[in-house]
Amino acid sequence: MVKDPVEVYCRLRPLENRNDLVCVESLSNTMVQLVPPGGSLAHKYNSKEIQYTFRFVFDENTSQKSLFETVALPLVADLLGGKNGLLFTYGITSSGKTYTMTGTPQDGGILPRSLDVIFNSIRVLQAHRYVFKSDKMNGFDVQTIAEAMVEQSAEVPVTPKTPRAKRRDFELEWAERIQEETVISNIDQDSVYSVFVSYVEIYNNYIYDLLEDAPIDPIKPKPPQSKILREDSNRDMYVFGVTELEVKSSDEAFEAFYKGQQRRRVAHTALNTESSRSHSVFTIRLVQGPLDPQGAEVLQDKSQIRVSQLSLVDLAGSERTGRTRNTGDRLREAGNINASLMALRTCIEILRENQTQGTNKMVPYRETKLTNLFKRFFEGEGKVRMIVCVNPCAGDYDETLHVMRFAEMTQEVMISRATPIPSTPVSLGLRVGRGNLYREAVRKAKEEGGNLQELLAPGVYSLGAPFPDLMMFDDEASFECLIQFLIARKSRREVLLNDLASKQNTFRNQIIEVEKESLSMKQEIHILKMELETRRQQVRSLENKLSSTEHTTEILRQKVGQYERSKQTLEYELGEKEMLLNQGEQEKQKICVQMEDRLISERERMRKIMERRLAEKQAELEAKMCLTGEKIQQLREILNSQEDWEFLVGEGLGPRQLSSKSEPRLSCGPKATPVGSRSRNTPAMTSSHSDTKLNVEQTSTPSRSMAVANPRHKRSQSSGGEKWIDHRPPGSLEYGTVLQPVMKKKKSVSKLKAKDVTGKDAARYVLTHQEQDMDGEVETKLYKVFKKLF
Radius of gyration of the chain (CA): 63
C-alpha to C-alpha distance for 258 and 276, rounded to whole angstroms: 15
Q: How many helices (H) and strands (E) does the chain have?
A: 20, 25
Contact 607, 646 (CB under 8 A): no
C-alpha to C-alpha distance for 4 and 6, rounded to whole angstroms: 7
Is residue 96 a known part of a binding site?
yes
DSSP letter, residue 92 = B
Burial 685-701 (b: 16+ CB within 10 A, else e): beeeeeebbbbbbbeee
Query: Which parts of 350-412 are beta strand (E)?
Result: 383-390
Give the helix/strand (H/E) hosting 196.
strand 191-203
C-alpha to C-alpha distance for 53 and 514, rounded to whole angstroms: 66
C-alpha to C-alpha distance for 101 and 88, rounded to whole angstroms: 9
Name, in order, each residue with C-beta under 8 angstroms of 226's C-beta and a sequence gap of 6 or more: 206, 207, 208
Q: Measure Cα distances from 766 to 380, 693, 785 in Å.
A: 137, 15, 6
Determine phi and psi for 273, rounding to 5 degrees. -75, -30
The region that residue 136 occupies, defined by phi over 0 for left and psi between -120 and 50 for alpha, beta otherwise, is left
Give how far the C-alpha of residue 372 lies from the chain's centroid of Cα atoms, to the nearest Å.
Answer: 29
Is residue 93 a known part of a binding site?
yes
Is residue 39 a known part of a binding site?
no
C-alpha to C-alpha distance for 569 and 559, rounded to whole angstroms: 15
For the residues of 217-282, what is the DSSP string, one character each? Answer: -SSSPPPPPEEEEEE-TTS-EEEET---EEESSHHHHHHHHHHHHHHS-EE--SS-TTEE-SEEEE
C-alpha to C-alpha distance for 576 and 599, rounded to whole angstroms: 34
Is residue 92 a known part of a binding site?
yes
* Single-letter amino acid, residue 691: D
Name, in order, each residue with C-beta under 8 angstroms of 125's C-beta and a sequence gap of 6 or more: 187, 189, 191, 192, 193, 435
C-alpha to C-alpha distance for 145 and 130, rounded to whole angstroms: 8
Closest CA to 392 of 11, 10, 13: 13
* Single-letter amino acid, residue 564: E
DSSP letter, residue 761 = T
Name, in order, each residue with C-beta under 8 angstroms of 430's C-beta and a sequence gap of 6 or more: 190, 290, 291, 293, 424, 460, 461, 462
State the SS3 of 498-522.
HHHHHHHHHHHHHHHHHHHHHHHHH
Q: Measure Cα distances from 123 to 178, 192, 249, 386, 633 in Å.
A: 18, 10, 9, 29, 141
C-alpha to C-alpha distance for 273 and 284, rounded to whole angstroms: 29
C-alpha to C-alpha distance for 781 and 773, rounded to whole angstroms: 11
DSSP letter, residue 71 = I
Determine phi and psi for 211, rounding to 5 degrees. -105, 0
For the residues of 580-614, what is the DSSP string, one character each? Answer: HHHHHHHHHHHHHHHHHHHHHHHHHHHHHHHHHHH
Is residue 98 a known part of a binding site?
yes
C-alpha to C-alpha distance for 647 and 717, rounded to whole angstroms: 16
Write down how long the chain is. 790
C-alpha to C-alpha distance for 497 and 504, rounded to whole angstroms: 10
Residue numbers belonging to the annotated binding site: 91-98
Residue numbers belonging to the annotated binding site for ATP: 91-98
